[in-house]
Structure 1
Amino acid sequence: MASPPSPLSGLRIVEVSAFIAAPIGGMTLAQLGAEVIRIDPIGGNIDHKRWPLSPEGTSLYWTGLNKAKRSVTLALNKPEGQEIARALICAPGEDAGILLTNLPASGWMSHAALSQSREDLIMLRLIGNSDGSGAVDYTVNSASGFPMATGRGEEPVNHVLPAWDIAAGLYLSTGLLSAERVRRREGRGQEVVLALSDVALASVANLGYVADVQVNGAVRQPMGNELYGAFGRDFATGDGRRLMLVAISNRQWRAIGKVTGLGEKLAMIGPMLDVDLNDEGGRFEARHAIAAVLAPWFAKHSLAEITRLFEGSGILWGPYQDFGQLVREDPRCSTANPMFAELDQPGVGRVLAPRVPLDFSGTPRPDPRPAPRLGEDSDAVLSEVLGLSSAAIGRLHDAGVVAGPDGR
């Protein structure tokens, strides 16, 4: 019996992009079974050699963000290359005619120009700020308030996670599917614009920080690794590791006291400080006293001992680990986790690769597929989608309009 098709099987999306947000949106859709054709200029876009690199010089960053896609390279600075790109974007079919981009969409690649070739075109476009001015994750993040609430001192602390790019990529994929549903229902296409700064601003507001300023006149201050509004903080273990301990619920709070044997001492803190330790806010107010009682216990135990004691206890905790420890020690980052499989990535070697994190009960997650070599699918896509003959494709190669793998 044949397996049911993947969730987005049959859907075709053309992606013209660079860096993180749009590529992660396209990859998410490709991992769900859509055919995603990424178009790059010959020689690659500005992200093609982004660090980190493999010993062979292949970008681990680029291959990580472009898994399961097809790659076409065109001379996008030439009218002939632009015309081929337009034809791919506007190809007929109810499951085609969708463009995803975070590059300047003007001239031939504007929605107004492309929709002349296909009225029901769907175009997802990421911009920096809502007024059209430029921004990247790092400039958006600096203004979001989070760097000023991170760390312990007055200096801002940037995180290395490109959070707004990642969130924007997922918004783009959600917006694309929403617009595709409108087209199926009403027969009309549209341009959907997402501003990177709006992703950050929406998140700040959704988490209550905007309202906290307006209603309470409060600005969250940096507290190191402490959890705001409840008890949670990091502790050093006896073997030089660190872990994060959190108590959101009363059950979790009681479990900490039971496993450490410090329940009676912890209970004494409430009356001394006149706070209710059965309340999140009370535990937050008493966080320094709680930490003073718990810290010596953690300092007497190794991480391995704590892991054994905490197993099955209901305590909410996790070890701090660098990327190397994550790969070497954490079974969740291995094929023991059904999300992961090993694949051979050209130019890189054999690596762990994730399927899409969503696990559907009725439709299978496609197995992870490697990122293509730059231009690997140029000839096949021009033949399959546009119906060009091998002779016509050869002439385009000779004219420098199309390139195959690695610019050949």
Structure 2
Amino acid sequence: MTGPLQGVRVIEIGTLIAAPFAARLMGEFGAEVIKIESLGQGDPLRKWRKLHEGTSLWWYLQSRNKKSLSLNLKSAEGIDIVKRLAESADVLIENLRPGALEKLGLGWDVLHALNPKLTLVRISGYGQSGPYRDRPGFGAIGEAMGGIRYTTGTPGSPPARVGVSLGDSLASMHAVMGALMSLLRVKTGQGDGQVVDVSLAESVFNVMESLVPEYDMLGHVRERSGGALPGIAPSNTYPTADGAYVVIAGNSDPIFKRLMQAVGRDDLGENPAFAHNDGRAAQSDLLDAAISAWSSALPIDEVLKTLEQAEVPAGRIYNVADIVADPHYQAREMILDAELPGGASVKMPGIVPKLSDTPGSVNWQGPALGQHTDSVLGELGMTAADIAQLKASGVVQ
């Protein structure tokens, strides 16, 4: 393993999305990630979405660079193995229900006593405290209660959702951010490890911009606005003559003038009422109508070419086929070729962010269940006979 997190050991006790995505991000940058899976089927993500020869393609992406240790956490021997791993780990990431880790005998008091330098990252629906602490929470519920669902969709329609598990992904990124902050504190000698408490709902709420002060000071409740960006104009989705759609962001003062010149509406660009965003936002419908009248008369390629020449931010709305074929994505190594078990070739997303000196890497795709059980236990000093006995007694797989 190479990367800026080389030498960092991460234990993952999680399923599906939030904790596994956080651990994946750390593994891509060099951390050793040991994923603890239940006996039998392992992480349910192995069977989610589209499958290839019985295994989820998402699994191969979500679990790349991870070691799979299949372990019975209902056994005393299994809990003892986790404790032994925690003694040499830097981070433990989990997304169990609050209190579940404690019921296993792996609460913070136990882990901290075993390894004061350990950082415990806990991802849950509502956090480790508060009146909703014990409620079950998925990313979709976090999106609903974090405010983003209410503001997503077209006016007058029911709230919509983004087509990916956004709440989980936002929680994962906050989890990694918190883990790295805690690691920095430990590595620079400023203190011991600590608990990083990440809520799905709060992670969504954290990206909701000025939602709260607008409500508190002005009584304004932000509503659904379709493709527009409320209070920032012009910024919307516009039709083209060939049935495509283009997103145009002409919302800074100089860009707005260039946009109006490009669409043949210098009268609007030079109007003092539209010199600044507050004036434009007050008449966003008028501006959107002017831009739509221009874009809808031209094919999208001509729209994009004109706006690029005018230095106006604009982009075609891509589907996955557009992304995979795009030369910029390819040049940035955002589309990687991978090999699955059995030799099948498949394209996978690249790594973000791009680091100049210590870039991330993909060393292997998501492993088979328990693929690294023997090697992980061997590193704990167990002999082949010890491991065989654990397998025979149903502790590991």
TM score, norm. by length of structure 1: 0.87
Runs of 4+ residues deviating >6 angstroms: none
Alignment of 1:208-357 (within 5 A): 208-229=210-231, 230-260=233-263, 262-267=264-269, 270=271, 276-327=273-324, 329-333=325-329, 335-346=330-341, 349-357=344-352
On the 8 A contact 1:148/1:154 being kept in 2, the answer is: no
The alpha-carbon deviation at position 187 of structure 1 amounts to 5.1
User: Is 1:376 the counterpart of 2:371 in the alignment?
Assistant: yes
Give the Å deviation of 1:186: 4.0
Unaligned runs of 5+ in 2: none
What CA deviation, in whole Å up to 9, does each residue of 1:213-251 have, x standing for no partner?
111111112221112222111111111111111112223
CA distance in 2, matches of 1:145, 1:119: 37
- Check 1:347–1:83 CA distance in 2 against 1; reply closer, same or farther (3 A cut): farther
Name the CA shift for 1:349/1:156 in 2 (closer, same or farther; >3 Å). Answer: same
Q: Provide the C-alpha distance between the structure 2 equivalents of 1:44 and 1:375, rounded to a whole number of angstroms.
A: 10
What residue number does 1:128 align with?
Answer: 125
CA distance in 1, matches of 2:334, 2:158: 39
Q: Distance in 2 between matches of 1:348 and 1:141?
A: 38
Tell me the distance in 2 between the aligned counterparts of 1:312 and 1:47: 49
Q: Does residue 101 of structure 2 align to residue 101 of structure 1?
A: no
Q: CA deviation at 1:22?
A: 1.0
Corresponding letter in the other structure for 2:372: D
Answer yes or no: is the 8 Å Cα contact 1:31–1:366 preserved in 2. Answer: yes
| 1:12 paired residue among 6, 9, 13 | 9
Amino acid in structure 2 at the alignment position of 1:330: D
| Amino acid in the other structure paired with 1:195 | S
**2:36 aligned counterpart, secondary structure:** strand
What secondary structure does 1:48 align onto? helix
Structure 1 residues 348 and 263: alpha-carbon distance in aligned structure 2, compared to 1, 3 A threshold = farther
* Counterpart among 369, 386, 395 of residue 392 in structure 1: 386
Query: Percent identical across equivalent pairs?
Result: 26
Q: Following the alignment from structure 1 to structure 2, what is the Cα–Cα distance between the partners of residues 368 and 239?
A: 43
Amino acid at match of 2:101: A
> Within 1, Cα distance between the matches of 2:255 and 2:47?
43
Aligned residues: 385
Superposition map of 1:118-197 within 5 A: 118-130=115-127, 131=130, 132-134=133-135, 135-150=137-152, 151-184=154-187, 185-186=189-190, 188-197=192-201
Q: State whether residues 122 and 190 of structure 1, in contact with CA within 8 Å, keep that contact through their aligned partners in structure 2.
A: yes
Q: 2:27 aligns with which of 27, 30, 33?
A: 30
Distance 2:273 2:191 in 1: 58
C-alpha RMSD of matched pairs (Å): 2.3
The separation in 2 between residues aligned to 1:5 and 1:158, in whole angstroms, is 37
Q: 1:144 to 1:5 in 2, by over 3 A?
A: closer
Q: SS of the counterpart of 1:342?
A: strand
Match of residue 406 from structure 1: none
Q: What is the alpha-carbon distance in structure 2 between the residues aligned to residue 307 and residue 390 of structure 1?
A: 63
1:254 deviation in Å? 2.4
Deviation at 1:145, TM superposition (A): 2.9
SS of equivalent residue, structure 1 residue 352: strand
Distance 2:203 2:240 in 1: 38
Counterpart-to-counterpart distance in 2, 1:286 and 1:194? 40
Tell me the CA shift for residue 267 of structure 1.
4.0
The C-alpha deviation readout for 1:13-50, integer Å capped at 9, x for no partner, is 11110121111111111111111111111124452334
Confirm or deny: 8 A CA contact 1:14 1:98 kept in the other structure.
Answer: yes
1:323: how far off? Answer: 2.7
For the Cα contact (< 8 Å) 1:60–1:348, is it kept in 2?
no
| Separation in 2, partners of 1:296, 1:217 | 34
**What is the CA distance between 1:68 and its match in structure 2?**
1.2
Matched-pair contact (CA < 8 Å) for 1:341–1:368: no
| Structure 2 Cα separation of the partners of residues 199 and 362 of structure 1 | 30
Contact map agreement 2:247 2:317 (CA 8 A) in 1:
yes
Deviation at 1:109, TM superposition (A): 2.1
8 A Cα contact 1:355 1:368, kept in partner: no
Determine the C-alpha separation between the residues in 1 that align with 2:280 and 2:290: 13
Show CA shifts across 1:95-138 (max 9, x none). Answer: x2421111132232212233343343321111221322222221
TM normalised by structure 2 equals 0.89
**How far did 1:202 drift?**
3.0
Flag the 1:380–1:46 CA change in 2: closer, same or farther, 3 A: closer
